[in-house]
């Protein structure tokens, strides 16, 4: 009987460990993708510090700009020292952090500057990178709220197993006491 309980306990431990491993694994895509684009190039490129986030708009303090040839007519000129509001679609600004330094390529739509986030898992994405040129981590694990949930979900099986072990041990000791007293 004790051998069966030990096997059952080992099975629970293996199942809990497998569940925790599955929760912590993140899928990534391979590179080497050829990206096709029909859109015009960016209106401007700059490196700046993110000073504010409000809704889909990120405000940057421009540190340096990169001159681009073929800037569309009517596009405002960006210069070091000024601030610029940049709109992001699809809630992509949530991956940016206030006080972070970014390299930003912006497009002018006639009324606003817009950009996207260059993510590590999508080689065809573009627009905003870290200032050192690295892609922005948008994996589920990088999001603080998701990380808390996943850690909590990983802890739950451990707590349940501990409680189960205590309960089984108590039950085993009680049966042993009852059999001695009979």
User: Residue 159 has what pLDDT?
Assistant: 83
The b/e string for 41-69 (b: 16+ C-beta within 10 A; e otherwise) is: ebbbbbbbbbeeeeeeebbbbbeebeeee
45, pLDDT greater than 80 = yes
Average pLDDT over residues 15-44: 49
User: Residue 28 has what pLDDT?
Assistant: 33
Position with higher pLDDT, 156 vs 139: 156
Distance CA 21, CA 26 (A): 10
| CB hemisphere CA count around 117 (13 angstroms) | 20
User: Residue 2 has what pLDDT?
Assistant: 54
DSSP 100: -
Residue 85 pairs in a beta bridge with 59
Average pLDDT over residues 82-93: 93
Q: How many other CB atoms are there within 10 angstroms of residue 87's CB atom?
A: 18
Distance CA 34, CA 82 (A): 36
Position with higher pLDDT, 33 vs 127: 127
């Amino acid at each position: 009987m004790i051998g069966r309980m030990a096997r059952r306990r080992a099975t629970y431990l293996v199942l809990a460990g497998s569940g925790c491993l599955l929760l912590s694994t993140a899928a990534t895509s391979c590179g080497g993708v050829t990206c096709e684009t029909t859109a015009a190039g960016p209106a401007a490129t700059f490196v700046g510090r993110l000073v504010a986030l409000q809704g889909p708009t990120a405000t940057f303090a421009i540190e340096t700009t990169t001159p681009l040839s073929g800037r569309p007519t009517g596009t405002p000129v960006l210069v070091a020292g000024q601030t610029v509001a940049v709109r992001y679609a699809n809630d992509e600004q949530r991956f940016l952090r206030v006080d972070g330094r970014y390299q930003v390529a912006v497009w002018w739509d006639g009324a606003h500057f817009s950009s996207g986030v260059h993510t590590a898992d999508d080689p065809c994405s573009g627009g905003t990178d870290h200032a050192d040129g690295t892609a922005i981590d948008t994996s589920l694990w990088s999001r603080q709220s998701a990380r808390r949930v996943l850690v909590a979900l990983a802890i739950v099986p451990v707590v349940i197993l501990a409680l189960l072990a205590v309960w089984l041990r108590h039950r085993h000791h009680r049966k042993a006491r009852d059999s001695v007293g009979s």
